[in-house]
Amino acid sequence: MDQQTTIRIPFRLTGPGLHTGRTVTVLVRPAAVNFGIAFRRTDRVNIITQHATADKVGSTARGTTLGFGRHSIATIEHLMSALHGMRIDNALIEPDGGEIPILDGSARPWLQQLQRVGTVQLDAPRKFFELKEPIHFEYGPTGSVYDIEPDDHFSVECTIEFADSVIGRQQAVLNSFDEYADQIAPSRTFVFLHEVEPLLHLNLIKGGSLDNALVFVNKELGTRQLKRLEKTFHKDASQFKVHDGLLNTTDLYFPNEPARHKLLDFLGDIRLVGYMIKGHFKVYKPGHKANNSFAKYLMNYIQTKL
């Protein structure tokens, strides 16, 4: 029988938040049996521990935010994905601000630290939920569809579909957690160029850059737009290169990197169910809001079966 795990020793990572742009240091600590994954902001006078469960999510606007108001913690999905990918059951996460750093836009920096400090087994069995029947869930507003078939382990097929041809329809697969480190964790977050300015007007992505996000472009850039990009990304216009619809100084790590990143996000969001799940997931057009709705549905479903 699989045993619960935690990390062997604490570690810290520091970086700016994607949306606030503020520098935050995150301390990740070991935790005891049955503690689960929890967050608490250390920059508050009254420190509140918030367990990372889907029903505690306060916002899904361009990321997953745990909690509400002054104690909320934004953009937890990449760290949660790395914890899920490493099959870590118990950990206490202490940021000194309201957003988990974006780092390079993937889960790889978190995964590398988790691999560096290592994990230890605890004296208690892992909390599994083993599916006995198929589950089907649809989230109408975005056309997202989630299916789970019974299986003896966890696996995911993820399909994304954008009308914009620079991404279009893509698929990504995680057959087992053994593939996570190499095939999923490095995949970076992405955005379309036409979304950047509206997000800035919403006071979001202040910490976004070409170093931590893939920016896709679906039309030729004019002189006026290049000037705006200089201001937005603090780079000279000569540094902007568009190659295969990608505005970056780097190439894609994988031809289907956007689909892999959506799978990465899904792994982080579905970890908020609170159980390791045995089942084969087929996910169509996932997004944080749809993922959270599905995770809450799954939490309720599991409670009826226990």
**Active-site annotation holder among 78, 84, 261, 288:** 288
What is the model's pLDDT at position 198? 66
User: What topology does CATH give the domain 3-126?
Assistant: Ribosomal Protein S5; domain 2 (3.30.230)
pTM: 0.93
Mean pLDDT, range 64-77, rounded to an integer: 94
What is the distance between the alpha carbons of residues 306 and 302, in angstroms, rounded to a whole number?
Answer: 6
Q: What percent of the chain has pLDDT over 70?
A: 87
Lowest-confidence pick of 9-18, 19-28, 65-74, 213-222: 213-222
Mean pLDDT, range 270-298, rounded to an integer: 97
pLDDT band at 286 (very low <50, low <70, confident <90, very high): very high
What is the distance between the alpha carbons of residues 86 and 1, in angstroms, rounded to a whole number?
Answer: 17
What phi and psi, each to the nearest 5 degrees, are found at residue 202?
A: -85, 5
What is the model's pLDDT at position 20? 75
Active site residue 280: no
What is the model's pLDDT at position 222? 66
What phi and psi, each to the nearest 5 degrees, are found at residue 3?
A: -100, 155
| Tens-place pLDDT, residues 73-111 | 999 999 999 999 999 999 999 999 999 999 999 999 999
Q: Which regions of the chain carry the CATH code 3.30.230.20?
A: 3-126
DSSP string covering the chain: -PEEEEESS-EEEEEEBTTT--EEEEEEEE--TT--EEE--TTSSS---EE--GGGEEE-SSS-EES-GGG-BB--HHHHHHHHHTT--BEEEEESSSB-B-TTSSSHHHHHHHHHH-EEEEEEE--EEE--S-EEEEEGGGTEEEEEE--SSEEEEEEEE-SSTTT-EEEEEE-SGGGHHHHTTTPPPEEEHHHHHHHHHTT--TT--TTT-EEE--SPPPHHHHHHHHHHHT--GGG--EETTEESSS--SSTTHHHHHHHHHHHHHHGGGSSEEEEEEEEES--HHHHHHHHHHHHHHHHHH-
What is the model's pLDDT at position 276? 93
What is the model's pLDDT at position 203? 57
Mean pLDDT, range 144-152, rounded to an integer: 97
What is the distance between the alpha carbons of residues 82 and 97, in angstroms, rounded to a whole number?
Answer: 20
Q: What percent of the chain has pLDDT over 90?
A: 72
Strands 246-247 and 276-284: unpaired
| Tens-place pLDDT, residues 160-213 | 999 878 899 999 999 999 999 999 999 999 988 777 766 655 555 555 566 778
| Tens-place pLDDT, residues 214-265 | 888 876 666 666 666 666 666 666 666 777 788 866 789 999 999 999 999 9
